[in-house]
Amino acid sequence: MFEQLLEDIAQTNALREVNTSLKLAAGLGALLLSLVSTGYVAPLFIAIVVSGAILLLARIDPYTYGELFVAPVSFALLSVAAIVLISGGSDALWSWQPLPWLSFSITIESINQGLFIFCRTLGGMSALLFIALTTPMTDLFVVMRQCRLPEVLVELVTIVYRTIFILLDQLVQCYHAQVMRLGYSTRRESIRSLATLCGVVFIASWNAGEDLIRARDLRCYDGKLVVLGAVRPVELRPALAVAGFLIVSSILVVLTGKITIISGIP
Amino acid sequence: MTSIILEARDIRYRYLRGDEVIRGISFHVRRGEKIAIVGPNGAGKSTLLMMFDGMLRPDAGTMLYDGRPILYDARSLRTLRKRVGFVLQNPDQQIVAPTVYQDVGFGPTNLGLPEDEVKRVVREALRAVGLEGFDLRPTHRLSGGEKKRVAIAGVLAMEPEVLVFDEPTSSLDPRGSEEIMELLDELNSQGKTIVVSTHDIELAYPWAHRAILMVDGMILQEGFPEIAFGDRELVRRAHLSTPLLLDIYHELSERGFALPTRRPFSVLDILQVIDQVCNQTRCRASPGTIAVHDVDAPDDGGLAGWCAARPGISIGAMGTRAKQRAADEEIPLHFTYGVVDKCILRALLGENTAILTNGGMVRRVVERVEEYSRQSGVEIPVTILRSS
Amino acid sequence: MHIPDSFIPIGQAAVYWLIALVFIALALRWVRREMSDEKVPLLAVLAAGVFALQAFNIPVTMGTSGHLVGGALVAIVLGSPFAAVFVLSLVLIVQGVLFGDGGLTTMGANIVNMGVIGGFVGYYSYQGLMGLTKSMLASAAGAAWLACFIPALAAAVELAFAGTFPFGPGLVSMGIYHALIGVIEAGITAVVIKLIATARPDILDSSAGVPA
């Protein structure tokens, strides 16, 4: 499970001390710009710069980053392949029709479209990973409160966060117990074991809820949650870096909107 | 302000789909007492404890706090739980927040304390359990022992009068267990009443003022530990075993030896018994001295130097502040639990020792040594080198 | 069935977000009405449970991932489609915001698909099937399958609107794939409901899912 890994990395990364809102602004800004762009250049630029920031500034281990990136990139490649083969277009460079209702073709548009989506995915993924890798959850809670999000929501989210790790622990233990008793030896057994596992986790989470209610009552719960201070000041250099990055990216979005990898019909 | 702070009068309780778990129990706890409720699993200890905090309501009988029956409306329960702090057996069930500070501060915040007050009590509570500096740690990243201490800190931060612990040392390693029991002693010396449930009689025997043996929802025996655990038949019916030192004492007694009337609670005590049995005292050397340093005393930085100047000396620390001081100044500690007794043992062999401690415990050291001197006839000099 | 960020343009994503927010508000109203204040954390821990279950990811083509959704399960156990909306929204928020796993701009669409459509389809088909077969297991299984299949179709439609995938092939592939995964979700949902019925029937007994 990546969750614990991400959280551990976030707690110890080199950009930990940078103001949380700044990091969020960088990440969300990068994400939005990637999405708004109509050409492939800007998202690609964003992906490269953000990945660079993750590897060089936050000093995240490249292997770890690669690991985290592998799954989404493979999805992206698969879907891009699908887009390239299925989208169609006016000028087919290659086509194949194995069945009357099933036809594949590679066209200029589909290649452009595929590349565009791929770069957009890279930009978005790297932006999200930037946030996940440089901002520990506990800091995010502080920001959520600062944004005046409803208390109820922040409270619920903290409960989910707190409970997840307990449940994941239990889930893993239960899974191991099942494996030790050959619960996954045959296909039929596996499905049964998996279903039981899900049931156990579901019930465990219900129990956790009842425990939580009791634990709060024990300590005279009155609807209040503890405010956690620790807001780091915004420093000039990081602020300038983020602002510069966002401005350059925005300019690219505007200027390179029409560029495609294979020109011809845009 | 009566002297009886908790009382149960003929209470009965049954779970929704089961047999009766508590079948008529009456007893009381006095202010400032250390009570151990001992019994096998399934005896109903946890159930009973939960009634002291209003978590469960007896089907029959009355639960009283400070002489008044417990009321079960939300407001009264809140007041009760401010005064009676409960620490569950499983800390995962007790920790409610993602970071240590937020969890320990949960109680005080909900009691309405302003933010800087909350900061103060949290800091003190964390210091008391030895988790200073853990404020921003995520709670799911803590070890079992650390989680337990966070749970305790969370209750301490509410500054209750009574502390109830369900199996305080379960899932702790031996050193962790020792430290928790010593923490409970420290809290008791500050005036708090402590009630624990356990099935570890070796733990309960030397620690408690009074012990209550519980089996099958009923009290089998109640009284001073040496009496409660002294009846072999009762102990057997309670599915327990006799504490080791007491067992040795009984065996020696049955062999016809004349023994001191005081039952042994510690290694020191049993040595006295053995001395009497063998009719000779082995320590003919003149006893060493015990030097006591109060770590709260205004210090000119001489403590570390004093210790360094005596390389052969054994040093013990009592209480979390003393241990913290020793860690800060890199003073090596030889004893962290049962410090006074161990130093007396060393002194009997002619060795000098030093004890780092603070507050009311300084006097306790002196009292213990004097008590020993009275009983054994061996005078051990105690010097208090610094006091506040 | 989570749609990642780059697959839907901002304008449409905003629309889905609006729809999602409306339903979240409705769900909040349901929660306030049906559950006492202190019972609300139950929903949060259920969300943690669903999160843990969804953590078993099965990578899938078409750029989205297939796994247990849990919408029907929550709706059936708690006795209301709004419960599913609420719990799944929490799950998606935690997944996306806290763990960076799942789209942020597309969260609205995902909430609509898995929470709203999944929850409502799951709940009402359960009621309908119970009327027909009187078997809790069969109805739960059927409801869970539909709550997996229909939202997948919806996702395909959204992706087609977004111009990311063509309509026909998208519908067919998402449909077929989730029809297959739906069988697993159906089976698991049925078994879980049976487990709860035997081990903790008090969870199901409580009307509208509120424990006594």
| Nearest residue of chain A to residue C209 (CA atoms) | A206
Reported as a single tens digit per residue, the pLDDT across B239-265 is 888 899 998 898 888 888 888 888 888
Q: Give the integer Cα–Cα distance in Å for A182 and B292.
A: 61
Question: Is B224:B52 a contact under the CB 8 Å cutoff?
Answer: no
Q: Give the integer Cα–Cα distance in Å for C104 and C55.
A: 18
Q: Provide ipTM, 2 decimals.
A: 0.74
Q: In the prediction, which pLDDT does A55 show?
A: 86
Reported as a single tens digit per residue, the pLDDT across B283-308 is 566 888 898 988 877 776 678 888 88
Q: Could you tell me which chains touch chain B, where touching means 3 or more CB pairs under 8 A?
A: A
Q: In the prediction, which pLDDT does C212 show?
A: 30
**Residue A10: strand, helix, or coil:** helix
**What mean pLDDT is predicted for residues B230-247?**
86
| Best mean pLDDT range from A187-191, B26-30, C28-32, C63-67 | B26-30
Q: Give the integer Cα–Cα distance in Å for B226 and B209.
A: 10
Helix (H) or strand (E) holding B317: strand B314-317
Q: Which two tokens stand for residue C163?
A: 């111009």
Residue A171: CB atoms within 10 A of its CB come to 23
Residue C12: CB atoms within 10 A of its CB come to 17
Q: For chain A, say whether C201 makes contact (Cβ under 8 Å).
A: no
Distance from CA of A58 to the nearest CA of B (A): 20
CATH number at C54 reads 1.10.1760.20
Structural domain boundaries, residue C180: 5-209
Tally of domains in chain C: 1
**What mean pLDDT is predicted for residues C61-70?**
56
Burial of B176 (0-12, 13-18, 19+ CB in 10 A): middle
By DSSP bridging, strand B382-386 and strand B4-14 are unpaired
**A222-236, B83-97, B130-144, C5-19: which has the minimum mean pLDDT?**
A222-236
DSSP string, B151-213: HHHHHHTT--SEEEEESTTTT--HHHHHHHHHHHHHHHHTT-EEEEEES-HHHHHHH-SEEEE
> Between chains, do C105 and A71 touch, taking CB under 8 Å as contact?
no
Give the rounded distance of the alpha carbon of C161 from its chain centre.
22
For residue C209, pLDDT beyond 60: no
Distance from CA of A226 to the nearest CA of B (A): 5
Q: In the prediction, which pLDDT does C3 show?
A: 82
Angle between helices B267-278 and B339-348 (to 10 degrees): 30
| Nearest residue of chain A to residue C189 (CA atoms) | A195
CATH number of B4-237: 3.40.50.300
Please report the residues numbered 92 through 151 in chain C whose beta carbons come closer than 8 angstroms to any beta carbon of chain A.
93-94, 97-101, 103-105
Instruction: Compare C63 and A119 and report the one with higher pLDDT.
Output: A119
For residue B46, pLDDT beyond 60: yes
Give per-residue burial for A129-155: e unless 16+ CB within 10 Å, then b.
bbbbbbbbbbbbbbbbbeeeeeeeebb
Q: Which of B5, B346, C99 lies closest to A136, judged by CA?
A: C99
Instruction: Compare A210 and B106 and report the one with higher pLDDT.
Output: B106
- Which candidate from C59, C166, C184 shows the least CB-CB separation from A86? C166
Q: In the prediction, which pLDDT does B241 show?
A: 84
Q: Give the integer Cα–Cα distance in Å for A148 and B314.
A: 57
**What mean pLDDT is predicted for residues B32-44?**
89
Percentage of residues of chain B with pLDDT beyond 70: 96
In order along its 266 residues, chain A shows pLDDT tens digits of: 556 677 778 877 888 777 888 888 888 888 888 877 777 888 888 888 888 888 888 888 888 888 777 777 777 787 777 777 766 666 677 777 777 666 677 777 777 778 888 888 888 888 888 888 888 777 777 787 777 777 777 778 778 877 877 787 787 788 888 888 877 777 777 777 777 888 888 888 888 888 888 888 888 888 777 766 666 777 788 888 888 888 888 888 777 777 766 654 44
> Between chains, do C44 and A159 touch, taking CB under 8 Å as contact?
yes
Helices (H), chain A: 2-12, 20-36, 41-52, 62-86, 108-134, 137-146, 151-180, 187-218, 236-255
- Residues of chain B neighbouring A220 (CB-CB closer than 8 A): 78, 81-82, 107, 110-111, 158
> So where are chain A's domains?
2-141+232-255, 150-218
- Which candidate from A136, A141, A216 shows the least CB-CB separation from B96? A216
Q: Which two tokens stand for residue C207?
A: 């009307």
Which of A219, A224, A225 is most worth mutating to test chain B (most B CB atoms within 10 A of its CB)?
Answer: A219
Which of C93, C98, C183, C189 is most worth mutating to test chain A (most A CB atoms within 10 A of its CB)?
Answer: C98
Reported as a single tens digit per residue, the pLDDT across B295-341 is 877 776 678 888 888 888 889 988 878 888 888 888 888 888 788 88
Distance of CA B263 to CAs A142, A177, B341, Å?
57, 47, 15
**What mean pLDDT is predicted for residues B85-113?**
90
